[in-house]
Amino acid sequence: MHEIFPVAAGVLVGLLAFRVASSRLRALLIAGLSVVFGVIATIISGEALISWAFVLIDIPLVLGSAIVTLVAVTYWTQRSIQLR
């Protein structure tokens, strides 16, 4: 249940990154926001009170969700352009 926020944040980051044209800026945006939202997710869930090591789980969860979202949206838009 506590992993809903990191996944939702990753989807948001992926959608924001899709709007960025530069690959370098896109990578920086995904990396930076994954760290920010990963730390926020750890704090919100209360896992930070147990151990800050949970950050090492939440950051990759946001990052992975962002990358999957970016790839899926890119594939979907490319496919819809080809079908026209």
Report pLDDT digits (tens) over 38-55: 999 999 999 999 999 999
CB 48 within 8 A of CB 71: no
Tell me the longest C-alpha to C-alpha distance in the chain: 53
Any idea which residue has 């962002």 for tokens?
66
Delimit the domains of the chain by residue range: 4-82
User: CA–CA distance from 51 to each of 10, 32, 37, 55, 60 (Å)?
Assistant: 22, 22, 17, 9, 17
- The mean pLDDT value for 49-64 works out to 96
- pLDDT on residue 20: 96
